[in-house]
Structure 1
Amino acid sequence: MLDLNKQKIVDSVPQKGFFGHPKGLFTLFFTEFWERFSYYGMKAILVYYMYYEVTKGGLGIPETTAFAITSIYGSLVYMSGIIGGWLADRIFGTSKAVFYGGIFIMLGHIVLAVPGSISMFFVSMVLIVIGTGLLKPNVSSIVGDIYSQQDNRRDAGFSIFYMGINLGGFLSPLIVGEIGMNTSFHLGFGLAAIGMFIGLLVFMFTKKKNLGLAGTIVANPLSATEKKKVYTIIGIGIVIIAIILAITIPAGILTFDTFAIVVGILGFLIPAIYITVMYRSPKTTSDERSRLIAYIPLFLASVMFWAIQEQGSTILAGYADKRTQLDFAGMHLSPTLFQSLNPLFIIVFAPIIGWLWVKLGNRQPSIPKKFSIGLLFAGLSFLVILLPAYFGGEGSLVNPLWLVLSYFIVVIGELCLSPVGLSATTKLAPAAFSAQTMSLWFLSNAAAQGLNAQIVKFYSEKTEMMYFGIIGGCSIVLAIVLFLLSPAIQNKMKGIK
């Protein structure tokens, strides 16, 4: 996008109105709040809906398969963001991408809200993957559009926006989870659909007044010739995929297990292609190539971290349901309650960790060392959760405070790694590939969940201690290796700190 267009967009947005920020932040804050309310509310009950028996309102899918499906779904959500970003940049702009994405998400939740077959369940997953891929990356992009590059409110604006994400993520498991688990899964999914509908209403009725031109200008539009070529390729691609599915599914070649393997491979293959293309490009300088090499161990560390963190909505969700004493302190706890812990701890402790880095100033750990600290905490969060079985024996119900402690520890690791990773990605990105490199960061989560789709199959109550011990131990070993390699990695960053 030309600088002239960027300034034109900023000038069109009312610059005072939401806690001293541009009025557009109100629209984007509440659009994202309701989208996250919808997404995390659905996700809080999704795995239970899959593995609960049909007599209890579920689909009766085997538990490990339900964990794997959730992981594949999460991986595809992050992969689809690449397509959503490209469509917005080249065809219809970020504003329309957000609107279309919200409609797809709402339709996906509506399909879940209607009692149906397993095939309808997968239709809903496809709709939500498409919708989230369109909405998620582009709503964040519009936040950047409403501020000029020199506006000192910019970082604070993103912090407020981030708070909306976590508030939605905190409240939805409490509300949607409670209704879904105690009344009806389908009613819970219906509430998620209503949440997305409210978000769409907020966006539709306030965007013209609050956002001005933000999101309406296509950054790098396709020419008429290019459009024709792209639409032809897309059409041919859809036909080829349909033919492949029509042949391989009835023949038993494309099964759930083979699809999971394909997703896992793509989770690592796509980032590898990204890095190779950027590294070999003539637009990339020698210093930028060195920084790309430095980024590889950080990317792999991120994959290891998210592989553990994302199991909070799969393995630990099942652990909360089946292995945790839910009658506690005179109350009966819903297993979905634990899904609210991650955003709650982020809301509380993110300012503290941020203050700590500022306080330490030049004495704060380097980027690779912060990543190693994040990995260390991730590993400890899994080692903590195996202790109750070690002390109490297999099959005994666990005090819920152990689970709370595990979620807390991994959040401290997340606050050491995730914001730092976002910042490091912008700093280490080659100038010609800044947007693509940010996509690369989100692909680390896609790779992690693609990996999870394979490893969650090894979890059971009998293998519980070994499962948590091996994965937690691997994370700690990688943390130590990364810490020892951090001076060499830092040297490859060519002055980036």
Structure 2
Amino acid sequence: MSDDKQRIVDSVPQKGFFGHPKGLFTLFFTEFWERFSYYGMRAILVFYMYYEVSQGGLGLSQTTALSIMSIYGSLVYMSGIIGGWFADRIFGTSKAIFYGGILIMLGHIALAIPGSVAMFFVSMVLIVLGTGLLKPNVSSVVGDIYSENDSRRDAGFSIFYMGINLGGFLSPLIVGSLMDTSFHLGFGVAAVGMFVGLVTFQVTKKKYLGLAGTQVPNPLAPNEKKRVFTQIGLGILIVAILVAVGIPTGYLTFESLVFIVGILGVGIPIIYFTVMYRSKKTTDVERSRLIAYIPLFIAAVMFWAIQEQGSTILASYADNRTDLEFMGITISPAWFQSLNPLFIIVLAPMFAWLWVKLGDRQPTIPQKFSLGLLFAGLSFIVILVPGYFASEGALVSPLWLVLSYFIVVLGELCLSPVGLSATTKLAPTAFSAQTMSLWFLASAAAQAINAQVVRFYSAETEVLYFGIIGGLSIVLSIVLFLVAPKIQKKMRGIK
């Protein structure tokens, strides 16, 4: 299998994009446009849900909108299981990326058509399935274009991560500016972004990606196909029946959906770890690495539980608790969604340079994760300060939000690109794409938990809310730092 990996690496031109393989160009701009489309839509989605119908919104309650955003985010990343499985067992990562992009584009087109709540949920299903196919697999292909011991690997993921955030920076500014004119016009711009991403991928992949993404690492045997496809069909039918019966009878409510997603968000990763660990295709070395991966996964869940609230709790904070008149400029609340990617664009090259400069002296993977948790916790501690000192109902300076987003980005750059790289290193060979899906399940689990947690947030409880969550993250960071040497030993040669 290692010979197959090297053959894929050899098929990719290794010099040509900032000293990295040329295939990084294709993946960089494909993900740039996909994230442009996703983050543009997400920047205005929560406002679209809770703004009144007379303002062009759906008129849902703010608490319901915040929970739906968390459920939607959880399902987006949870669907990566489907994308990873199809890539590993049926058509490879390259086709998964293309099919996923088409579904995402159709979902944004559905949002761009003025309609009802029903049309809104149709678009959510399309985007959830499409992102599940595209998101984990494009990251997996980044790992394919480097050899396992290539010193450029972590820096390459940091550059790739910068492309993600370049799209994420521009789209909220553009789409947020259109929000007051028409939510649907903003969603239309997101659809165009995904179309451009699809064209970029199709035009450049043959020349720059070589064999990367074209092979099926663990294909279904001929005698398995009929049984597996029958099971998939039955599963879809059962879900359809349960939904058709559950909604009219009142058993399937929003509250029960939140509960189900919460169970799935926590339960599916446990099942995945168990299946991969017990598989006969997983070697003893790979089992040891999976054990090392578990505390990293838990740390990632805690981190993303804080970071992902940037599009829910902090979006609401920007809209309702922040003075949006600053230095003679009227700020759109959606523009704050550009802060996270903006800081990553500025800081990602510095972090990439730092890791290369430090070489063998850089912190270990678990230590980088502990730093990520520390900064995440501090970002919530910072945002509780103005609420603690301000009088009741007073609007706070937008600079507090800017500082909070800045601090969490420091943590994100310690954890997220490093986590992507570590996942490709620690993944069992037979489960390569599915392990990348498992990495994104950390975000799914975090947002499934958030769907429950965000309901406790209000102007009256915000100091306690930010303090408890921020403090828990800091405590967990200290614990992870103390056990980092033991985790590193379990990685069996992976640095």
* Equivalence for 1:77: 76
TM-score, with structure 2 as normaliser = 0.91
* Equivalence for 1:257: 255
- Counterpart CA distance in 2 for 1:19 and 1:476 is 36
| Segment of structure 1 superposing worse, 416-425 or 229-238 | 416-425
Match of 1:391 among 379, 389, 392: 389
Q: Are 1:10 and 1:147, in contact at CA under 8 Å, matched by a contact in 2?
A: no
Query: CA offset at residue 115 of structure 1?
Result: 0.9
**1:238-253 map, 5 Å:** 238-253=236-251
Q: Deviations over 1:182-218 (max 9, x none)?
A: 2110000010011111222223344445545544443
Judged with a 3 Å threshold, the aligned counterparts in structure 2 of structure 1 residues 495 and 84 are, in CA distance, closer, same or farther, namely closer
Q: Which amino acid aligns with 1:337?
A: W
* Equivalence for 1:48: 47
- Counterpart CA distance in 1 for 2:414 and 2:140 is 24
Query: CA offset at residue 26 of structure 1?
Result: 3.6
Q: Are 1:7 and 1:148, in contact at CA under 8 Å, matched by a contact in 2?
A: no
Q: Are 2:154 and 2:421, in contact at CA under 8 Å, matched by a contact in 1?
A: no
- Counterpart CA distance in 2 for 1:28 and 1:397 is 42
The reply to whether residue 102 of structure 1 matches residue 94 of structure 2 is no
- Counterpart CA distance in 2 for 1:373 and 1:19 is 28
* Equivalence for 1:233: 231
* Equivalence for 1:7: 7
| Segment of structure 1 superposing worse, 183-192 or 76-85 | 76-85
* Equivalence for 1:174: 173
* Equivalence for 2:376: 378
Query: CA offset at residue 140 of structure 1?
Result: 2.9
Judged with a 3 Å threshold, the aligned counterparts in structure 2 of structure 1 residues 305 and 210 are, in CA distance, closer, same or farther, namely closer
Q: Are 2:108 and 2:123, in contact at CA under 8 Å, matched by a contact in 1?
A: yes
Root mean square deviation, CA, Å: 2.7
- Counterpart CA distance in 2 for 1:207 and 1:424 is 25
* Equivalence for 2:300: 302
Q: Which amino acid aligns with 1:316?
A: L
Query: CA offset at residue 147 of structure 1?
Result: 5.4
* Equivalence for 1:369: 367
Q: Deviations over 1:412-454 (max 9, x none)?
A: 1112222333344344445554544333222111110110010
- Counterpart CA distance in 1 for 2:337 and 2:88 is 34
- Counterpart CA distance in 2 for 1:14 and 1:368 is 32
Match of 2:332 among 310, 331, 334: 334
Q: Give structure 2 stretches of 5+ with no counterpart.
A: none
Query: CA offset at residue 480 of structure 1?
Result: 2.6
Secondary structure, counterpart of 1:341 in structure 2:
helix
* Equivalence for 2:114: 115
Secondary structure, counterpart of 1:268 in structure 2:
helix
Judged with a 3 Å threshold, the aligned counterparts in structure 2 of structure 1 residues 348 and 9 are, in CA distance, closer, same or farther, namely closer
Secondary structure, counterpart of 2:396 in structure 1:
coil
Secondary structure, counterpart of 1:257 in structure 2:
helix
| Segment of structure 1 superposing worse, 262-271 or 224-233 | 224-233
Query: CA offset at residue 162 of structure 1?
Result: 2.7
| Segment of structure 1 superposing worse, 294-303 or 379-388 | 294-303
**1:79-158 map, 5 Å:** 79-146=78-145, 157-158=156-157
Query: CA offset at residue 297 of structure 1?
Result: 2.5
Query: CA offset at residue 106 of structure 1?
Result: 0.9
- Counterpart CA distance in 2 for 1:95 and 1:466 is 46
* Equivalence for 1:187: 185
Q: Are 2:101 and 2:198, in contact at CA under 8 Å, matched by a contact in 1?
A: yes
Q: Are 1:166 and 1:343, in contact at CA under 8 Å, matched by a contact in 2?
A: yes
Between the two proteins, the alignment pairs up a number of residues equal to 495
| Segment of structure 1 superposing worse, 417-426 or 286-295 | 286-295
* Equivalence for 2:441: 443
Judged with a 3 Å threshold, the aligned counterparts in structure 2 of structure 1 residues 15 and 414 are, in CA distance, closer, same or farther, namely closer
* Equivalence for 1:413: 411
Query: CA offset at residue 221 of structure 1?
Result: 3.1
- Counterpart CA distance in 1 for 2:294 and 2:201 is 38
- Counterpart CA distance in 2 for 1:52 and 1:24 is 43
Q: Which amino acid aligns with 1:330?
A: G
Judged with a 3 Å threshold, the aligned counterparts in structure 2 of structure 1 residues 321 and 463 are, in CA distance, closer, same or farther, namely same
Q: Deviations over 1:292-313 (max 9, x none)?
A: 3443322212111110000001
Match of 2:272 among 260, 271, 274: 274
Judged with a 3 Å threshold, the aligned counterparts in structure 2 of structure 1 residues 337 and 153 are, in CA distance, closer, same or farther, namely same
Q: Are 2:8 and 2:145, in contact at CA under 8 Å, matched by a contact in 1?
A: no
Query: CA offset at residue 265 of structure 1?
Result: 1.1
Q: Are 1:6 and 1:145, in contact at CA under 8 Å, matched by a contact in 2?
A: no
- Counterpart CA distance in 1 for 2:43 and 2:175 is 8
Judged with a 3 Å threshold, the aligned counterparts in structure 2 of structure 1 residues 491 and 224 are, in CA distance, closer, same or farther, namely closer
Q: Deviations over 1:79-133 (max 9, x none)?
A: 1112112212322232322222111111101111111111110100000011111
Judged with a 3 Å threshold, the aligned counterparts in structure 2 of structure 1 residues 111 and 132 are, in CA distance, closer, same or farther, namely same
- Counterpart CA distance in 1 for 2:254 and 2:94 is 35
Q: Which amino acid aligns with 2:115?
A: G
TM-score, with structure 1 as normaliser = 0.91
Structure scoring higher RCO (CA < 8 A, sep ≥ 6) equals: 2
Match of 1:454 among 444, 452, 455: 452
Q: Which amino acid aligns with 1:48?
A: F
Matched-pair identity in %: 76
Judged with a 3 Å threshold, the aligned counterparts in structure 2 of structure 1 residues 20 and 111 are, in CA distance, closer, same or farther, namely same
Q: Are 1:84 and 1:134, in contact at CA under 8 Å, matched by a contact in 2?
A: yes
- Counterpart CA distance in 2 for 1:484 and 1:22 is 37
Judged with a 3 Å threshold, the aligned counterparts in structure 2 of structure 1 residues 8 and 441 are, in CA distance, closer, same or farther, namely closer
Q: Which amino acid aligns with 1:7?
A: R
* Equivalence for 1:344: 342
Q: Deviations over 1:140-169 (max 9, x none)?
A: 334444556677766555444333211111
- Counterpart CA distance in 1 for 2:110 and 2:433 is 34
| Segment of structure 1 superposing worse, 153-162 or 100-109 | 153-162
Judged with a 3 Å threshold, the aligned counterparts in structure 2 of structure 1 residues 100 and 153 are, in CA distance, closer, same or farther, namely same
Judged with a 3 Å threshold, the aligned counterparts in structure 2 of structure 1 residues 281 and 103 are, in CA distance, closer, same or farther, namely closer
| Segment of structure 1 superposing worse, 88-97 or 258-267 | 88-97
Judged with a 3 Å threshold, the aligned counterparts in structure 2 of structure 1 residues 381 and 296 are, in CA distance, closer, same or farther, namely same
Query: CA offset at residue 273 of structure 1?
Result: 1.3
- Counterpart CA distance in 2 for 1:457 and 1:256 is 13
- Counterpart CA distance in 1 for 2:187 and 2:408 is 28
| Segment of structure 1 superposing worse, 147-156 or 107-116 | 147-156
* Equivalence for 1:32: 31
Judged with a 3 Å threshold, the aligned counterparts in structure 2 of structure 1 residues 248 and 296 are, in CA distance, closer, same or farther, namely same
